[in-house]
Structure 1
C-alpha cells in the first residue's frame, strides 16, 4: 500500500506548469509600455501601405468633391437612395477607366508623392501622439482608460497633425485636380509638386499653404469618433472574442496556438477598424467637400471659396445639400479599406515589437 501511495504523493507534490493566462492578463501584466518610436514607425508603415493601395480611389474622390465635376452633375437627382448608391459605384468605376484611357495608368496615382510625403509623417505623428496622449490622459483620469480619454487623445493627435501637414495636403489636392477638365482655363498647370509649392508661395504667400485648415480642424470630429468607436469595438468585441477562443482551446492548443485562431484575431481587428471608419466617415463627411473646395486651384484666377462658413453657404445656395456629399461613395470605397489596412498594419507592428516572445518549453 505504501509503495502505491508514493507515486500519488509524488504526483501531488510535483510542481505543475502554471495555467496559461488569458490574453487580457498578458496585456495588463506582461506587455511593456510601447515607446514613442514603435508607434511612430507603426503608424508610418500602416499609412504608407494604405495610401499606396487606395490612391486611385483617392484621385476619383478628390475630383468628385471639386466644383469642376459637380458643375456637370448639378441637375442630376436620384429619388431612390439604393439606385443612387449603385449609380455612384458604377460612376467611380467608369471614372477610373476614363482616367486610365485619357491620362494613362500613372494618372491613377497622381498626387501619390505628396500623399505619401504627407501620410507617412501624419500617421506616424498621429499614432505616436495618440498613444502618449492616451497614457497621459489615463493618468489624469485616475488610471482609468475611458471613452473620454480616447476622445481627448484623438483630438490632441488630430490637432497636431492638421497643423503640421496642411501644406502637403493642399499640394496633393491641386495636383489631383489640375488635369480633370483640360478645357477649363485654370490659372496653372503644375508640372510637379515642387512647382506647385513655389507657385503657391509666390502668388498666395505662406497663408496659401494653410487653406482648408479650418475644415481640417472641423474634421477632427471624424478621427475622434473613429478612434473612440475603434477602442470600444476592440475592447468589447475583439478582445472578448479572443478570450472566448482562448477559453475553448485544449491544454495542448494553449501551448501551441493554432494559426486559424491567430488569423481570426487579426480578422476581428480588421473588421473593427473598417466599421469604426465607416460610421465616422458618413457622419462627418461634409467637411471633406469643404476642405477640397478651399484648397482647389482658383478658377480663372478668382478665389471662389474663401472661408469655411462662406464656402458652406455658397455650396448650399448654388448646388444644394447633395453637393456636400459629393464623392462620398468613392470616399467610403477608399477610406474604409484604407483604415482597415492602416490599423491592421499598425497593430501588427506594435504587437511584433511589444509582445514578449513565447516560451519554447
Structure 2
C-alpha cells in the first residue's frame, strides 16, 4: 500500500471528458508541428537518407556549396540541418508538401489521443480504486499508461501506415516529381489517402496495415515513461504553480509536459526508426525490412548504430511543443469540465 506522502487521491471527472480533451489536444498539436513530422519521417527512412546526407547552403550570386554535418557539433547541428531540409522541401515540392500526411495524421491523432487519454485517465482511477485504496502513485500511473499504449497502438496502427507511405511518396515516385504542386491532378497522380489504402490492400492484404505494430508495442515504453515522468513533475511543480497564480500553473504544466516528452523520446527513440523502416513500401517488389529484430540488425550492420537516431532533431522539435500544447489543452479541458 502506498503511503499518503507519496500518493494523491484520484479525481473523478466524467469518463468521456478524457476522450474529448485528449482528441482536442492531439488535433491542435499535430497541426502546429506537422512540418517537423514530415522531416522526421523522411530522415528515419532509408529511402531519403542518401538525399539528405548533405545540406545545400545557398550562396550569394546563385551558387551553392555542399556542407556535411560536422561530427563535433553532433545533435546540435542536426537542428540546423532540420531547418535546411524544411527549406528544401518548401522550395522543391511546395508549401503543401510540409503538411503531407496531415490528413491521415489528424484521422489518426484524434482517435489515438482520445483513446490514450480515455484509457489512461479512467484506467488509473480503476487501478487505484481496486488495487491501491483509491490513491495514485507511480505504479498506478505506469500500469495505466501501459494499458493505454497497447490499446492505442492496436487501434490506430493502420492509420499510421498510410500516413508514413504518403510522407515517403515523393521519393518513391521520382518520375512524377513536381506534380505534387499541380493542384488536384498532382494529388491524384501521387495518390491520396484512399488510393494508398486500396493499394496496400491490393498488394499486401490486411496484414500490410499492421506493419510496424511490433515496434509500436515496443514504443509503449515511451508512453509509460512520459506519463510517469509527467505526473511526477506535475506534482513536484504544484507548489510553485500555486504561488505563481494562473500563469505559474500553466508554465508549470507546459514545462512538465515538454520535459516528460523529451526524456521519454531520448530514451526510446530507436523504436521510431525501426517502425518507419517496417512501414516503408517495397522497392521493385522487394520488401527489405520484414521483422523487428531483422530490421534492427540490418540497420546497425549497414548504417551503424547512429542511424537509430536519424531524424531525432526534427522529432524533438515536433514532439516537445506538441506535448506542451496537447497536455495544456487536455488539463485545461479537465479543469473546465470538472476538477480532477
Per the TM superposition, whether the score is higher than 0.5 is yes
Q: Which residue of the partner structure matches residue 179 of structure 1?
A: 170
Matches of 1:102 and 1:72, distance apart in 2: 13
Segments of structure 2 that go 5 or more residues without pairing to the other structure are 1-7, 55-67, 178-187
Name which of 255, 261, 264 aligns with 1:271: 255
Gap change, CA 1:107 and 1:185, over 3 Å in 2: closer
The alignment status of 1:334 with 2:313, answered yes or no, reads no
The alignment status of 1:325 with 2:309, answered yes or no, reads yes
Name which of 95, 113, 124 aligns with 1:105: 95
Of 296-305 and 314-323, more deviation after overlay is shown by: 296-305
Would the aligned equivalents of 1:70 and 1:323 in 2 still touch at CA under 8 Å? no
Would the aligned equivalents of 2:299 and 2:308 in 1 still touch at CA under 8 Å? yes
Would the aligned equivalents of 2:52 and 2:85 in 1 still touch at CA under 8 Å? no
The alignment status of 1:153 with 2:144, answered yes or no, reads yes
Would the aligned equivalents of 2:12 and 2:125 in 1 still touch at CA under 8 Å? no
Aligned counterparts, 1:159-198, within 5 A: 159-180=150-171, 182-183=173-174, 190-198=190-198
The alignment status of 1:229 with 2:213, answered yes or no, reads no
Deviation, 1:71, is 3.5
Name which of 287, 302, 312 aligns with 2:271: 287
Matches of 2:339 and 2:256, distance apart in 1: 21
Of 177-186 and 294-303, more deviation after overlay is shown by: 177-186
Would the aligned equivalents of 2:176 and 2:190 in 1 still touch at CA under 8 Å? no
Deviation, 1:73, is 6.0
Q: Which residue of the partner structure matches residue 44 of structure 1?
A: 23
Q: Which residue of the partner structure matches residue 250 of structure 1?
A: none
Q: Which residue of the partner structure matches residue 240 of structure 1?
A: 239
Which of structures 1 and 2 has the bigger CA Rg? 1
Gap change, CA 1:229 and 1:270, over 3 Å in 2: same
Q: Provide TM-score, normalisation by structure 2.
A: 0.86
Would the aligned equivalents of 1:171 and 1:196 in 2 still touch at CA under 8 Å? yes
Would the aligned equivalents of 2:240 and 2:248 in 1 still touch at CA under 8 Å? no
Deviation, 1:283, is 0.5
Deviation, 1:242, is 2.9
Would the aligned equivalents of 2:112 and 2:152 in 1 still touch at CA under 8 Å? yes
Any idea what the Cα deviations from partners look like across 1:311-351, whole Å, max 9, x if unmatched?
00000000000110000011001001101110011001111
Q: How many positions carry a matched residue from both structures?
A: 309
Would the aligned equivalents of 1:60 and 1:92 in 2 still touch at CA under 8 Å? yes
Matches of 1:209 and 1:189, distance apart in 2: 22
Q: Which residue of the partner structure matches residue 132 of structure 2?
A: 141
